[in-house]
Amino acid sequence: MSSSRISRLRTGALITTVATAAALPLARAARAVAVSAGAGRRSIRPTAERSENFDGDTFRNTLPGSVIDSGSMASVALAMLTRGRVGKPTGTVPLADVVIPDAAAGLAASWLGHATVLLEVDSRRVLTDPMFAQRVSPPGLLGPRRLHPLPLDPADLPELDAVVISHDHYDHLDIGAVRQLVDSQHCPFLVPLGIGAHLRRWGVPDNRIIELDWEEQATVNGLTITCTEARHFSGRSLNRNTTLWSSWAIAGPGHRVFFGGDTGYTPAFAGIGARWGSFDLAVLPIGAYNDSWPDIHMNPEEAVKACGDLGGRLLLPVHWATFDLALHRWAEPVERLIVAAKNSGVPLALPAPGQRFEAAGAVPESTWWVPAV
């Protein structure tokens, strides 16, 4: 064999080796993205079909939502790409030291950022929408990055009695957080219909999954936890609304908490308040709103109205400050909320990320989001 022929073979082998080495990380990344997307329709459908909110193909809201035309979508996309730092803080977001008492209180909350809250209800602990990831996206892909660190190491969480999840969007259902909690905790995951299929694909045992439709409830360690209506949508891929979305009513012998998850305003809140309230604490989303999607995220004024509908005695605002997911200024949600709450006489708790408060004591009121002069 000629030396040139040998040289060509060696070069070809080298190219093949390099290409294979380069392809392996891409294959692993593609696999991670596919796993993170969760279960497919075939796995979800048997559970979905038992719901009146499922039309045979997808779940639907009680009230039809606004339709965003392609022109509006294009203008919103352009605005998101060109908005610069409008949705980001001007400085470092101050974090509070997370204080976890040995015994859970009658009613307390620690806001860990976005919609993640460690609730204490009648000596039980419930974690809502655990989001530990650095980005809102499938693993390894670009997406909105955290604007402040997680205030505590998830390994330092106390023993939980329940984890509740509102829906399957990446900023509320974090595969990494689920897997950490499966390994470090023993409690059940309470989820809306269909999300159980995602959890099973990620290794959550069947005996730790409680899957509910709207108005269904389960009793967990002395707490009655009810899956309640929300106005939103779902989807972790191009397929939308294959799983249900929800809010949650959490009731102990002495206290009641409402967790809104991620929702637009809906008149259903009044019915929830009448059936499962009134609520000593209403945890409600106030951020990522826009006129182009008025039905899926409440604005601050709507959150105040919802608190009144629910019979909420104290409003804890969430779903702002941690990720830049809309076009408004970073602190605009809380600024508008304070005005609306004052006009309506609704008491607010305004903790910095990580800050714990007891509802029966002095609630946080400092304007921690205002940069120090």
DSSP assignment of 244-302: ---EEEEE-SS-EEEE--S----THHHHHHHHH---SEEEEE--S--TTSTTTS--HHH
Rounded distance between C-alpha atoms, residue 145 and residue 134, angstroms: 6
pLDDT over 80 at 124, yes or no: yes
Pick 107-358's CATH classification: 1.20.1340.10, 1.20.120.1200, 3.60.15.10, 3.20.20.70.
Answer: 3.60.15.10
Q: Which two tokens stand for residue 160?
A: 């939980």
Rounded distance between C-alpha atoms, residue 281 and residue 112, angstroms: 16
Identify the weakest region by mean pLDDT among 38-42, 64-68, 276-280: 64-68
Report whether 166 contacts 174 (CB < 8 A). no
Q: How far apart are the first and last CA of the chain?
A: 78
DSSP annotation of 372 reads P
pLDDT over 60 at 155, yes or no: yes
Q: Which amino acid is at 155?
A: A
**């919609």: which residue's tokens?**
115
- Mean pLDDT computed over 10-31: 58
pLDDT over 50 at 294, yes or no: yes
Rounded distance between C-alpha atoms, residue 30 and residue 26, angstroms: 6
Q: Which helix or strand (DSSP H or E) is residue 331 part of?
A: none
Instruction: Determine the pLDDT at residue 196.
Output: 98
Report whether 189 contacts 178 (CB < 8 A). yes
- Mean pLDDT computed over 104-108: 98
pLDDT one-digit tens code per residue, 125-135: 999 999 999 99
- Mean pLDDT computed over 158-167: 98
Instruction: Determine the pLDDT at residue 139.
Output: 80
Can you give the residue ranges of every domain in the chain?
3-36, 107-358
Determine how many CB atoms are found less than 10 A away from the CB of residue 212.
23
Q: What is the CA radius of gyration of the chain?
A: 22
More confident residue, 64 or 266: 266
Question: pLDDT class for 237, splitting at 50, 70, 90?
Answer: confident
Instruction: Determine the pLDDT at residue 2.
Output: 61
Instruction: Determine the pLDDT at residue 169.
Output: 97
Determine how many CB atoms are found less than 10 A away from the CB of residue 240.
12
